[in-house]
């Protein structure tokens, strides 16, 4: 971490060496589900969307991408488990590479944050538990309506290895599609977080109870993926202090530090580092629904993030509620190496340029976050400079 950032000028717009990747600045595209991959297949609009947000030497993380046919909990999310999906992703990756970007594919399984309509044969979704997500939360169904989350089926211990295997295969597929690496989505109340957090995980076998047991599934996934594609192409995302989808834990600091110490140990054993650790700020809960975070002072949140940043031996990315100024401050104070931006990047495809010259930002329209139109609310946000706006007429396809 600091060894690299200290060597450079410590600004959001300074270059950064992330393992084998040379980044030209620290502004990262955060992974964001956009529901434009009809029936799970990335279409040309995705190539245009990601290319629009690419800068030479910029780092992008894709939307959550399904590792298997039981992984979905949103409509029209792309997968990376079939040949057709791999072929379709190649075009997206090529479009980003042509502009000099570096792109990781985020591997996702939603676990119990699903519904029978998304499951093969209408089966119940899988999880660490058979407790459903509370009625505080609603699931978006393919017909655009919302409903409560159904009761999941707790995986038997012997089934877990099959799920790990899905992540491993998906990682190999991502590399075949040309991605520079993958990010394991261990955050925001989805499957891996459903094992990590004691507010959800009520297992009595070796995957539940102690923090060590709750970390087991994540670490098996990390090890399998690292074994398949190499540590230097693997990032991990966690959100120990985020209660999205009821993902609460009685000791977020202890949980985060335990995950980090395991990742550090794995790195030491391997003699090589993961590409990065990506942590979501506590203030960013209930994304897509509220702007503000959970109770807790900014200072408490900053301390938690600093503890994670300090403990992790490698590149650190933070995310959640960062403005241009907060991002600049975080990098300048060495609270992070990189900052990932979500909502501001949706509505400002040239966010990096706008940040650099401190230009006004376009406001995002929440109503089109999860709609299927390949243009509206997706690739039609304006650029400052119209010449860099279009990749051609791809977006209408
Ligand atoms: C529309 C939308 C979709 C998102 N989808 C994902 C996702 O697929 N995977 C993920 O890890 N985070 C997801 N997030 C969270 C973002 O990666 C990011 O952490 C969050 O938006 C906070 O950053 P921001 O305040 O800059 O928007 C999503 C956020 C939004 C707004």
Please give the pLDDT value at position 9: 56
pLDDT above 90 covers a percentage of the chain that reads 87
CA-to-CA distance for 352 and 363, rounded, in angstroms? 15
DSSP of 137-154, one letter per residue?
S-EEPTTS-EEPPPP-EE
The pLDDT tens digits for 75-88 are 999 999 999 999 99
**Cα 319 to middle of ligand 1, angstroms:** 8
Strand 316-319 to strand 276-280: parallel, antiparallel, or no bridges (unpaired)? parallel
What is the reported pLDDT for 6?
40
Q: Is the pLDDT of residue 121 over 60?
A: yes
Q: Can 190 be counted among the known catalytic residues?
A: yes
The confidence band for 303, taking pLDDT boundaries of 50, 70 and 90, is confident
pLDDT of 310 strictly over 80:
yes
Q: H-helix or E-strand containing 192?
A: helix 191-196
Catalytic residue among 16, 81, 190, 207: 190
Verify whether ligand 1 is closer than 6 Å to residue 64 (CB atom).
Answer: yes
Angstrom CA distances, 247 to 96, 181, 187, 283, 356, stand at 34, 27, 9, 14, 36
pLDDT band, residue 284 (cuts 50/70/90): low
- Min mean pLDDT across 274-278, 291-295, 317-321 is at 291-295
Weakest-pLDDT range from 153-162, 235-244, 379-388: 379-388
Mean residue pLDDT across the chain: 92
Helices (H) and strands (E) in the chain, counts: 12, 14
Question: Quick check: helix, strand or coil at residue 302?
Answer: helix
Q: Are the CB atoms for 90 and 47 separated by under 8 Å? A: no
Q: Is the pLDDT of residue 326 over 90?
A: yes
Tell whether the model's pLDDT for residue 296 goes beyond 90.
no
Q: Taking CA 188 as the corner, what is the angle to CA 84 and CA 306, rounded to the nearest 5 degrees?
A: 120
Q: Using DSSP, state whether 106 is helix, strand or coil.
A: strand
Ligand 1 pocket residue status of 236, Cβ below 6 Å: no
Q: pLDDT tier at 182 (50, 70, 90 boundaries)?
A: very high
DSSP string, 37-56: SGGG---HHHHHHHHHT--T
Look up the pTM and report it. Answer: 0.94
- 194 pLDDT more than 50: yes
If one residue of 30, 110, 341 were mutated to test the ligand 1 pocket, choosing by the most ligand atoms within 8 A of its CB, it would be: 30
pLDDT (0 to 100) of residue 286 = 38
Can you tell me the distance from the alpha carbon of 275 to that of 106, in angstroms, rounded to the nearest whole number?
A: 13
Ligand 1 pocket test target in 342, 367, 381 with most atoms within 8 Å of CB? 342
Closest residue by CA, ligand 1 atom 7: 32
Tell me the pLDDT tens digit for each residue of 362-378.
Answer: 999 999 999 999 999 99
Ligand 1 centroid distance, CA of 72 (Å):
16
| Residue nearest to ligand 1 atom 3, measured at CA | 32
Q: What whole-number distance in Å separates Cα of residue 204 and Cα of residue 202?
A: 7
Say which residue, 286 or 381, is predicted with more confidence.
381
- What pLDDT digit, counting tens, does each position of 27-52 carry? 999 999 999 999 999 999 999 999 99
Closest among 76, 72, 83 to 111, alpha carbons compared: 72
Task: Give the residue, out of 32, 36, 240, with the most ligand 1 atoms within 8 A of its beta carbon, to mutate for a pocket test.
Answer: 32
Which residue has the least CA distance to atom 23 on ligand 1? 320
Question: Helix, strand, or coil here: 187?
Answer: coil
Instruction: Give residue for tokens 């290319």.
Output: 51
**Average pLDDT of 150-167?**
98
Please give the angle made by the CA atoms of 337, 341 and 347, to the nearest 5 degrees. Answer: 155
Q: Which residues pair with 280 in a beta bridge?
A: 319
Instruction: Please give the residue that has the higher pLDDT: either 132 or 396.
Output: 132
212 in Cβ contact with 255 (< 8 Å): no
């Amino acid at each position: 971490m600091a060894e690299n950032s200290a060597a450079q000028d410590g600004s959001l717009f300074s270059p950064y060496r992330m393992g084998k990747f040379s980044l030209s600045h620290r502004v990262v595209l955060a992974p964001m589900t956009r529901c434009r991959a009809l029936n799970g297949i990335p279409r040309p609009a995705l190539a245009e969307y990601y290319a629009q947000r690419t800068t030479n030497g910029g780092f992008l993380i894709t939307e959550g991408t399904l590792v298997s046919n039981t992984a979905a909990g949103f409509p029209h999310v792309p997968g990376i488990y079939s040949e057709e999906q791999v072929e379709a992703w190649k075009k997206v990756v090529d479009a980003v590479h042509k502009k000099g970007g570096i792109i990781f594919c985020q591997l996702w399984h939603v676990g119990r944050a699903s519904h029978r309509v998304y499951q093969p044969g209408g089966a119940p979704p899988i999880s660490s538990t058979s407790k459903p997500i509370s009625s505080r939360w609603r699931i978006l169904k393919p017909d655009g309506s919302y409903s409560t989350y159904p009761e999941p089926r707790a995986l038997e211990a012997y089934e877990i290895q099959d799920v790990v295997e899905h992540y491993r295969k998906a990682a190999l597929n991502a590399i075949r599609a040309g991605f520079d690496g993958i990010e394991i989505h261990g955050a925001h109340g989805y499957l891996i977080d459903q094992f990590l957090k004691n507010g959800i995980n009520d297992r009595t076998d070796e995957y539940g109870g102690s923090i060590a047991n709750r970390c087991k599934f994540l670490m098996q996934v990390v090890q399998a993926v690292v074994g398949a594609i190499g540590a230097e192409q693997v990032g991990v995302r966690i959100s120990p202090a985020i209660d999205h989808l009821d993902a609460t834990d009685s000791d977020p600091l202890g949980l985060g530090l335990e995950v980090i110490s395991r990742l550090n140990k794995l790195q030491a054993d391997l003699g090589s580092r993961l590409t990065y650790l990506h942590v979501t700020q506590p203030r960013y809960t209930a994304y897509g629904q509220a702007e503000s975070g959970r109770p807790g002072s900014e200072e408490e949140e900053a301390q938690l993030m600093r503890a994670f940043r300090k403990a992790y031996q490698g590149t650190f990315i933070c995310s959640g509620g960062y403005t241009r100024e907060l991002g600049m401050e975080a990098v300048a104070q060495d609270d992070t190496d990189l900052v990932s931006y979500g909502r501001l990047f949706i509505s400002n495809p040239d966010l990096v340029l706008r940040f650099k010259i401190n230009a006004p930002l376009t406001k995002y329209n929440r109503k089109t976050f999860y709609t299927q139109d390949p243009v509206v609310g997706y690739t039609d946000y304006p650029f400052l400079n119209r010449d860099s706006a279009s990749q051609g007429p791809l977006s209408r396809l």
